[in-house]
Amino acid sequence: MPLPWSAELAGRLDRHMLTFETLRGNPLGDPVERPLNVYVPPGYDDAPDRRYPSVYVLQGYTGHVAMWDNRSPYRLTFPEAADGVFSRGEAPPAIVVFVDAWTLYGGSQFVDSPGTGNYHSYLCNEVVPWVDAHYRTLDAPEHRGVTGKSSGGFGAFITPMLRPDLFGGLASHAGDSLYELSYVNEFAKCTRALREYDGDIWKWWADFQKRPGPTKSNDLSLVMTLGCSACFSANDDGSIELPFDPRSGRLRDDVWQRWLAWDPVRMVDRHADALRSQKAIWIDAGTRDEWFLDLGGQAMVDALADIGVTDVHFELYDAGHGGIDYRYPLSLAYLAQRLSPKP
């Protein structure tokens, strides 16, 4: 077991703070200057001509890059664990990129939206080129992957669908999907929580912002629901449509359809070629996932099979939604193997 306070890296983690033009003028007034952490594997500096596959890491809702340094008991951080994968030779070396997509509402779902900003473009059109320009990556899509958990797993599902010219591999741990099972229950919880705010999410938001972070049991459900509405069902002027009636929880069909258009399960058909081009697809989740993302994973696997994509690593295990970061190194190794050039 590791010493508790920190671990030495065999590779190197570079911490950059960069200004991203794509985020300028974003509707929430979020910073255009963002951290970007780039990990290079052991040996990188000793092999100045070698090029490496790259894996982009996306975070779950309310995550931001500084949280990759959070320590939890008896665990390595993911950068440390990733370093272990490479230093022990469990996978060919790769560059790992930690991307920040935090917003005032806790996240961006890695999409372009008038409600939050252009985080998909930011990732694809600014972050990736910057990394390719400053690190010795193999810059063809078959050598570039994306991974993440929860909302990050959603980002890992959709980004290669939208940009197969950039991404040729993905890993999704308990990735948001099958929205009828994962989201609708949240709407019910939110509706009950809004009773004390006259069914007005903006009254809650005003109150929430005055408090020292989440202090009520449904605050994070409300944050996520507000934020995802900003991502999936914002109007052109940046205003937000909730997918449900906040008095009763009843689905608003037209808005809900906009959400479903972003359900990875429903996107598979529209992006079949992109998915067929992937060199690596890893999907996993805990069998007790509180948002039923084990079923979301299964639905993805089935939808992929329907378009002929069956070379998928799919795995369920005894866990809920939390505490599954010990899974990330496994999929990282998988991606590194699949995205490395054949010898």
> Residue numbers of the site for a second copy (CB under 8 A)?
1, 3-6, 31, 35, 62-67, 69-76, 81, 100, 102, 104, 106, 178, 180-181, 184-185, 187-188, 191-192, 208-209, 211-217, 220, 223, 245, 247-251, 265, 287, 292, 294-296, 298-299, 302, 318-320, 323, 326, 329
Least Å from the CB of residue 332 to a second copy:
13
Least Å from the CB of residue 277 to a second copy:
24
The DSSP annotation for 158-182 comes to HHHHH-TTT--EEEEES-S--HHHH
Token couple for 178: 């099958």
Contacts of 49 (CB under 8 A, 6+ apart): none
Phi, psi of 163, deg, nearest 5: -135, 65
The Cα 23–Cα 304 span in angstroms is 33
Nearer to a second copy, 96 or 319 (CB): 319
Least Å from the CB of residue 339 to a second copy:
23
The Cα 132–Cα 140 span in angstroms is 10
The Cα 197–Cα 55 span in angstroms is 43
| Residue 335: closest CA among 93, 101, 44 | 93
Q: Are 104 and 30 in contact (CB under 8 A)?
A: yes
| Residue 267: closest CA among 185, 197, 163 | 163
Nearer to a second copy, 41 or 264 (CB): 264
Least Å from the CB of residue 133 to a second copy:
24
The Cα 244–Cα 255 span in angstroms is 8
Least Å from the CB of residue 90 to a second copy:
13
Token couple for 312: 């998928």
For residue 285, give the 3-state DSSP assignment: strand
Least Å from the CB of residue 251 to a second copy:
5
The Cα 342–Cα 340 span in angstroms is 6
Least Å from the CB of residue 45 to a second copy:
27
Q: Is 215 exposed, middle or buried (CB count within 10 Å of its CB: 0-12, 13-18, 19+)?
A: exposed
Least Å from the CB of residue 21 to a second copy:
20
Q: Is 184 exposed, middle or buried (CB count within 10 Å of its CB: 0-12, 13-18, 19+)?
A: middle
| Residue 95: closest CA among 172, 9, 12 | 12
Local structure of residue 243 (DSSP, 8 states): S
Nearer to a second copy, 190 or 275 (CB): 190
Token couple for 308: 């002929």
Token couple for 108: 């961006």
Least Å from the CB of residue 51 to a second copy:
30
